[in-house]
C-alpha cells in the first residue's frame, strides 16, 4: 500500500519530471480514483468494481479508444479512503483494444475488496495527481475520475487540493454515488452539488450522478466514453467554473459534520 503525508504529497505536485523521450504517446492518461471508505457498504463496493469492469470491456468504450488519433489510452486504478490510505490497485497500462481492456478488467476482478476508515477525497486526488509523473506515457490530456458516496471529512481541505491539481493542467471529473439514503455522521443529501462545487475542476470538468444500482455500469460507461472522447455531457446544469464562483456549497461541510459528531 502506498501511504502519503499530506504536505509532502501536495508539495510534490510542483516538482514533476519532464516527459522522457521514450514515453509512449497516447490520447489520454486517465486515473480511476475509487472510494473504499467504510461508508461504502460491501454491496456498493462490489457494484462499483463490477461497474468499472463491465464498462472497460463494453464495445462503446473500446470504440471510443479506437477513435482517437493514437487509438490508445493509458489507464490506472487507485483506491482511497482516509488521509493515509491510497493505493494503486492496477498500475498504468496502455489500453489499445479489447484484449488489453479485458486484461485490465481481469486484474480488477482478481483483487480483493477492502474497506478503510475516513473519506479524504483531497488526499486521494493529490496522491493520484503525483502518479502522472514518470509513468512511461505521454498525452495532452490528463484526467482523474473520482467516485465516492460522501464529502471530504478529514485530511487536507478539498479546495486546496483541487486548486493544486488543476494548476498542473489535470482535469478532475466526478462520479457521486447517491444510491442509498444519506446515513452516517458525515452524509449529505446534495452530494451531487457538493461534487460539482467542491471536487471537480479543470478543462471540461463534469459529473455524472449514480442514483440507483441499475444505473451504475451505464453511468461509468457513459463517463468513460465522454472522457476518452474529450467531451462533456449535454446537461442543464451550470458549468463547473460558474457554480464554483457562485460559492453555493460549503466545501468544509464534511469536516464540520465530523467535528459535530465527535463532540456529541
For position 12, what pLDDT does the model report?
Answer: 63
For position 261, what pLDDT does the model report?
Answer: 67
Provide the CATH topology of domain 6-263.
Answer: Rossmann fold (3.40.50)
pLDDT tens digits for range 15-51 = 555 556 589 999 999 999 999 988 777 888 888 899 9
Those residues of the chain that have pLDDT short of 50 are 1-6, 236-246
pTM higher than 0.85 for the full model?
Answer: yes
For position 240, what pLDDT does the model report?
Answer: 45
Q: What is the 3-state secondary structure (H, E, C) of the chain?
A: CCCCCHHHHHHHCCCCCCCCCCCEECCCEEEEEEECECCCCHHHHHHHHHHHHHHHCCHHHHHHHHCCCCCCEEEEEEEECCCCCEEEEEEEEEECCHHHHHHHHHHHHHCCCCCECCCCHHHHHHHHHHCCCCCCEECCCEEEEEEECCCCCCCCCHHHHHHHHHHCCCEEEEEEECCCCCCCCCCCCCHHHHHHHHHCECCCCCECCECCHHHHHHHHHHHHHHHHHCCCCCCCCCCHHHHHHHCCCCCCHHHHHHHHHHHC
d(CA 87, CA 2): 5
**133, three cell numbers:** 509523473
Q: How many CB atoms lie within 10 A of CB 225?
A: 19
d(CA 259, CA 7): 22
For position 79, what pLDDT does the model report?
Answer: 96
Distance of CA 220 to the CA centre of its chain: 11
Amino acid at each position: 500500500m502506498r501511504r502519503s503525508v499530506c504536505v509532502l504529497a501536495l508539495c510534490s505536485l510542483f516538482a514533476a519530471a519532464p516527459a522522457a523521450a521514450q514515453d509512449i504517446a497516447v490520447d489520454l492518461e486517465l486515473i480511476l480514483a475509487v472510494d473504499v471508505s467504510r461508508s461504502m457498504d460491501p454491496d456498493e463496493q462490489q457494484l462499483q468494481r463490477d461497474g468499472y469492469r463491465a464498462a472497460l470491456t463494453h464495445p462503446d468504450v473500446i470504440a471510443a479508444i479506437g477513435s482517437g488519433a493514437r487509438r490508445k489510452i493509458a489507464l490506472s486504478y487507485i483506491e482511497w479512503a482516509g488521509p493515509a490510505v491510497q493505493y494503486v490497485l492496477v498500475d498504468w497500462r496502455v489500453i489499445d483494444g479489447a484484449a488489453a481492456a479485458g486484461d485490465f478488467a481481469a486484474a480488477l476482478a482478481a483483487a480483493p475488496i477492502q474497506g478503510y476508515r475516513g473519506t479524504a477525497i483531497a488526499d486521494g486526488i493529490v496522491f493520484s495527481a503525483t502518479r502522472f509523473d514518470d509513468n512511461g506515457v505521454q498525452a495532452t490530456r490528463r484526467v482523474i475520475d473520482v467516485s465516492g458516496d460522501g464529502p471530504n471529512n478529514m485530511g487536507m481541505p478539498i479546495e486546496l487540493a483541487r486548486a493544486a491539481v488543476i494548476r498542473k493542467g489535470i482535469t478532475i471529473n466526478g462520479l457521486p454515488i447517491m444510491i442509498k439514503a444519506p446515513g452516517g455522521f458525515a452524509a449529505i443529501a446534495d452530494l451531487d452539488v457538493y461534487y460539482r462545487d467542491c471536487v471537480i475542476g479543470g478543462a471540461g470538468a463534469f459529473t455524472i450522478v449514480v442514483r440507483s444500482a441499475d444505473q451504475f455500469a451505464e453511468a461509468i460507461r457513459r463517463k468513460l466514453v465522454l472522457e476518452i472522447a474529450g467531451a462533456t455531457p449535454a446537461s442543464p446544469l451550470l458549468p463547473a467554473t460558474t457554480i464554483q464562483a457562485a460559492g453555493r456549497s460549503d466545501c468544509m461541510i464534511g469536516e464540520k459534520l465530523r467535528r459535530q459528531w465527535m463532540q456529541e
